[in-house]
Each structure stands twice: as C-alpha cells, then as structure tokens.
C-alpha cells in the first residue's frame, strides 16, 4: 500500500507546465486547472497557425456554450444530466444517455479552473448517474433515460458511457482529491471492477457492447471500436495495478490492424461494429445493432481517430501512429485538402454514404487524428480553423459534445490521471 501511495504522489503530476500536488488544497481549488498545456509525445503536433492563447480561448468559449445548452438540472435536488436534444433511434422521449453523462463528467473535470462551478456540476452529474443504475450490474449506468427522469425499459448498460464515467472519476480524484462528500477514487475503482466483470470479454480481452452481452448472448464476441479508449485503459491499470488492462489494449490494437489490412486497406477506416472476435474479426453486417450502416465508418466509429490520437499524444504509441497514418493519408486526399469537403459517414472503401450530411463529430475527430505527424501540419491547421469556427445546424448534443472533447485535445490540454506523459 505504501508503494502504491508513493506512485500516486509521483505520477499525479502529469502536466508539463503545472504541478498537480497530491495533498488536497485547503480552498478546494483544482490541482490541474485549465489550461494545462500538456507536452505531448515527440513527433506529434498542434495547430501552429494560431497562438496558444487563441487555442485556449476557443476551448473556453465553446465550453461556455456547450455547458449552457447541455448541462441540465435533474428532477431531484443536486442532480444534473447531459441533455440529448435529438431522438435516439425513433425514441423522442430520450433526455439522457450514459454516453453523454460520461462526456459531461470528463469535460467538467478538465475544465475546472476555467469554470468555478465545475466541481458542483461534476458531483451533480455523478449523482444522476448513480440514481440510474443498470438492472444487471448496479455499478454501471442504465444506458438511456426518458422524460420523467426514469430509465428506459431496457435498463442495461453501454460500455462507452461507463468507460468515460470511470475515467471522469479518476480525473476528479486528481483534480480535487477524494476527501469530500464523494470519494472519487473509491468510486472509480468500484466502477473499473464492474466494467472488467461485465463489460470486458475475458476470453478475447475485448470490450463488450454492454453488460447485457453475456456468454449466452450471440453478441458476446462482438465489439464497438469507438470504445477502444486506450488512455482510459492505461489509467485503469495504473490505479488498480491490474495488468489485464494491457491485454485489452493489445486486443483493441489487433482488431484495428486486422480490419485495416483485410477490409479497408485503401482508407484505414474502421466500421461502427466488429463481430466474431473469437474467430476472425469482420465488419458487422447491416442492421447488426443500430442500422444499415453498422458495418461502415459512421456515427460510432467517427470517434476512432480521436481515441487513437489521444493514446499517441500521451504515450507515443507506435501502433496508434501506424493506424492513423492510413486514415490521415486517405482523408486528406478524399477531401482534397479542404475540411469543408468532409462528410458524415463513409463506406470502408471510401465512398460517401450521404453526400449532403456533415457533422463536427467527424471533422473534429479527424482533426485530432491529424496531430499524429508533422506531415499533416497544413491539414491540421485547416481543420482547426474549420472546427473552431463551425457550429453546424445539424449538430446537436452528439456533434457538439465531440467537438468539445476534441477542442481540449487539439489545444494541448488533454491529460490522463496517473499516466506519465511521453513528452515530459
């Protein structure tokens, strides 16, 4: 125990330009206040056509807009939820999903220092999550809440939301300590154990779709590649001391490599869902879970370049760099070097799914992916200008939330709890 506490004190300072001390500050001020200006891994880049002050200002300005529009007071006292202001599937009763609640916890923890209410909002988001447990594993969150503040009838979990919730709790522990009303560290450890128990396939060490995908379920060996949150897994390993999270990282990279080699060699694109991990991973067939584009690069896997790039930025992971090179090379050519030409959804061969659909969910994540190499500096600068200036009319909760997360990374302000930064 003494050795682990010492490790926590040493690694708690993970920012290049600040010192995140282990002891709680008497006034409750954040230890790692925004902006952090993390020194990313050698060979990665940031937009260089604007100043650091302008990068930070774009983040804070959009955060203020995002918070005003999407953090909503719940029906119970001291609860907040992230509003879903567009229908999920055909259900117009939806007010919140666990995915959004995870985004909210991560974003508010990162933005402490800019937002004096960040901890209040974080704690309220946490209370709402705990008030809506999965019917299968009560430490995980029911994936959807509907008008009236109740969970939907299928009150089981979705892995992406739980992964971000646990990561957000680790951010909070680093940011504010765990001696207050909520023991963020203990809650995170409990969540991480629940995720491993019911959202990780221990035969393939892959991320399951949710706690409902048991061994008796035909989707037990299927996965959602946008759930490959490598920086989260590394932080989970650091706080728990459990090396099985390295197995999850390795499996995730093997799946990406296999799909790129066998199914998208000219684009590097990853489908929304991948099946048959116990045999040979393949893109899902149409209508596997959500719709006809389940086997294409669509509104789930648009997040893959972002997730890969964050791992590269923080650790210098060569597998992430290899995967991103294929994606970046293709999208620069496909868009003709113009971010405005990026469309929301592509088939794995690069054909547009809907030539009229555009979303920051795609453009912003491609932008973070472009941070992988200096060869893409001009492209990254153009992407930054587009992302910072655009607020697309079709983007509601999802596109705007992903833009918010990507702005934090693009500006050099993403960090991971208990994880030493490669560039430091």
Identify which of 303, 330, 314 has the alpha carbon closest to the alpha carbon of residue 404: 303
4-22 tens-digit pLDDT: 333 333 333 334 333 455 4
Q: Supply the Cα-derived Rg of the chain in whole angstroms.
A: 20
Instruction: Identify whether 420 is part of a domain.
Output: no
pLDDT band for 422, please (50, 70, 90 cuts).
Answer: low
Domain range enclosing 354: 2-410
Give the pLDDT band of residue 89 (cuts 50, 70, 90).
low
What pLDDT does 88 receive? 58
In a domain, 419, yes or no: no
What's the pLDDT score for residue 70? 97
For residues 29-58, give the mean pLDDT: 97
Predicted confidence at residue 23, as pLDDT, reads 47
Judge whether 342 and 336 are in contact, CB under 8 Å.
no
Nearest Cα neighbor of 186 from 173, 198, 203 is 173
157 found inside a domain: yes
* Local structure of residue 60 (DSSP, 8 states): H
The confidence score (pLDDT) of residue 393 equals 74
- Which candidate in 160, 162, 198, 227 is catalytic? 160
| Cα(280)–Cα(265) distance, integer angstroms | 17
Indicate whether 389 belongs to any domain: yes
| Element spanning 151, H or E | strand 150-151
DSSP string, 107-135: HHHHTBTTBTTHHHHHHHHHHHHHTSB-S
Torsion of CA 81, 82, 83, 87, to 10 degrees: -110
In a domain, 210, yes or no: yes
C-alpha distances (whole Å) from 62 to each of 66, 109, 124, 367, 406 are 6, 16, 21, 16, 11
Instruction: Indicate the average pLDDT of the chain.
Output: 92
Q: How many CA atoms lie within 13 A of 89 on its CB side?
A: 11
Say whether pLDDT at 283 is over 50: yes
- Confidence class of residue 25 from pLDDT cuts 50, 70 and 90? low
120 catalytically annotated: no
Instruction: From the candidates 56, 99, 156, 187, give the one annotated as an active-site residue.
Output: 99
User: What is the predicted pLDDT for the residue at 149?
Assistant: 84
- What are the phi and psi torsion angles at 105 (to 5°)? -65, -45
Compute CA 40 distance to the chain's CA centroid, rounded to the nearest angstrom: 18
pLDDT of 3 higher than 50? no
Q: Is residue 423 part of a domain?
A: no
Query: Is-catalytic flag, 17?
Result: no
Lowest-pLDDT range of 7-21, 90-104, 298-312, 365-379: 7-21
8-12 contacts, C-beta under 8 A, 24 or more apart: 8/418, 11/238, 11/418, 11/419, 11/420, 12/174, 12/417, 12/418
Residue 259 domain-assigned (yes or no)? yes
State the DSSP H helix or E strand holding residue 37, giving kind and residue range, or none if neither: none
CATH code of the domain containing 205: 1.50.10.10
Residue 98: pLDDT above 80?
yes
DSSP of 353-411: S-TT---HHHHHHHHHHGGG-GGGHHHHHHHHHHHHH---TT--HHHHHHHHHHHHHHT
Q: What percent of the chain has pLDDT over 90?
A: 86
* CA 336 from centroid of its chain's CA atoms: 28
Question: Hey, which residues does 297 pair with through a beta bridge?
Answer: 346
321: Cβ contacts below 8 Å, ≥ 6 apart: 43, 312, 372, 373
The tokens describing 215, both together, are 């061994």
Q: Tell me the pLDDT tens digit for each residue of 346-388.
A: 999 999 999 999 999 999 999 999 999 999 999 999 999 999 9
Query: How many domains is the chain partitioned into structurally?
Result: 1
Assess if residue 422 is contained within a domain.
Answer: no
Is pLDDT of 229 > 80? Answer: yes
């Amino acid at each position: 125990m003494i050795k682990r506490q010492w490790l926590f004190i040493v690694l708690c300072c993970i920012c290049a330009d600040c010192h995140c001390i282990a002891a709680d500050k008497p006034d409750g001020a954040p230890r790692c206040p925004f902006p952090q200006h993390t020194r990313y891994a050698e060979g990665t880049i940031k937009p260089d056509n604007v100043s650091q002050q302008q990068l930070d200002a774009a983040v804070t300005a959009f955060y203020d807009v995002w918070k005003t529009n999407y953090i909503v007071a719940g029906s119970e006292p001291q609860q907040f939820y992230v509003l879903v202001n567009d229908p999920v599937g055909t259900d117009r009763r939806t007010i919140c999903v666990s995915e959004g609640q995870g985004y909210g916890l991560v974003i508010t923890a990162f933005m402490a220092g800019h937002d004096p209410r960040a901890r209040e909002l974080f704690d309220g988001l946490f209370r709402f999550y705990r008030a809506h447990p999965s019917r299968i594993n009560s430490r995980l969150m029911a994936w959807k809440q509907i008008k009236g503040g109740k969970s939907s009838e299928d009150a089981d979990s979705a892995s992406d939301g739980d992964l971000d919730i646990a990561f957000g709790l680790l951010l909070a522990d680093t940011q504010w300590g765990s001696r207050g009303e909520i023991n963020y560290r203990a809650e995170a450890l409990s969540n991480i154990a629940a995720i491993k128990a019911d959202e990780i396939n221990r035969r393939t060490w892959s991320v399951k779709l949710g706690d409902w995908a048991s061994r008796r379920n035909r989707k037990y060996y299927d996965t959602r590649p946008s759930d490959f949150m490598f920086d989260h897994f590394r932080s989970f390993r650091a706080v728990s001391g459990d090396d099985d999270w390295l197995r999850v990282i390795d499996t995730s990279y093997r799946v990406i490599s296999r799909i790129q080699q066998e199914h998208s060699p000219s684009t590097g694109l990853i489908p929304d869902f991948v099946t048959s991990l116990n045999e040979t991973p393949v893109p899902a067939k149409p209508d596997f879970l959500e719709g006809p584009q389940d086997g294409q690069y669509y509104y789930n896997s648009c997040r893959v370049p972002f997730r890969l790039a964050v791992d590269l930025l923080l650790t210098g992971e060569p597998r992430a760099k290899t995967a991103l090179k294929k994606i970046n090379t293709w999208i620069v050519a496909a868009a003709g070097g113009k971010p405005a030409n990026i469309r929301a959804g592509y088939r794995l061969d690069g054909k547009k799914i809907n030539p009229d659909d555009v979303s920051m969910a795609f453009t912003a994540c491609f932008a973070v992916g472009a941070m992988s190499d200096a060869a893409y500096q001009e492209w990254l600068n153009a992407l930054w200008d587009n992302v910072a200036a655009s607020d697309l009319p079709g983007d509601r909760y999802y596109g705007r939330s992903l833009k918010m997360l990507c702005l934090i990374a693009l500006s050099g302000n993403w960090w991971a709890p208990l994880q030493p930064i490669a560039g430091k």
